[in-house]
Amino acid sequence: MVCKTEGVGEVGQECVSAPADSSEDIKDLAGALAKAQAVMANPKKSHTAKVVSVRTGAKYSYHYADLAEVVDAVRKPLADHGLAFTQIVTLMGTQPVLLTRLLHESGQWLQSVYLLPRNGSAQDMGSAITYARRYSLCAILGIAAEDDEDGQAATEAEEAADAAEAAALEQRRAEASKRLDEAKARGLIKSAHDGRVLKPGEAPAPAGAPPQVEAAPPAAEASAASQPAAKEEQAVAALSPSADSAEGPAVAPLLKVCLVMDGITPQQLKGYYVKKGHFTASVDPDKLPEDYVKKITERANWKRVVATIKGGV
Quick check: 13 and 27 in contact, CB under 8 A?
no
The confidence score (pLDDT) of residue 235 equals: 46
Look at the pTM and tell me if it is higher than 0.75.
no
First-to-last C-alpha distance (Å) of the chain: 30
The confidence score (pLDDT) of residue 119 equals: 85
Burial call 269-301: b when 16+ CB within 10 Å, e when fewer = bbebbeeeeebeeeebbbebeeeebeebbeeee
CB burial of residue 12 (10 Å; 0-12, 13-18, 19+): exposed
**CA nearest 198: which of 215, 211, 176, 181?**
181
The confidence score (pLDDT) of residue 38 equals: 95
Residues whose CB is less than 8 angstroms from the CB of residue 287 and which lie 6 or more positions away in sequence, other chains included: 211
**CA nearest 166: which of 305, 301, 311, 300?**
300
Residues of the chain with pLDDT under 50: 1-2, 4-13, 150, 211-250
The rounded distance, in Å, linking the Cα atoms of 143 and 147 is 11
The confidence score (pLDDT) of residue 207 equals: 52
Domain ranges of the chain: 18-147, 171-311
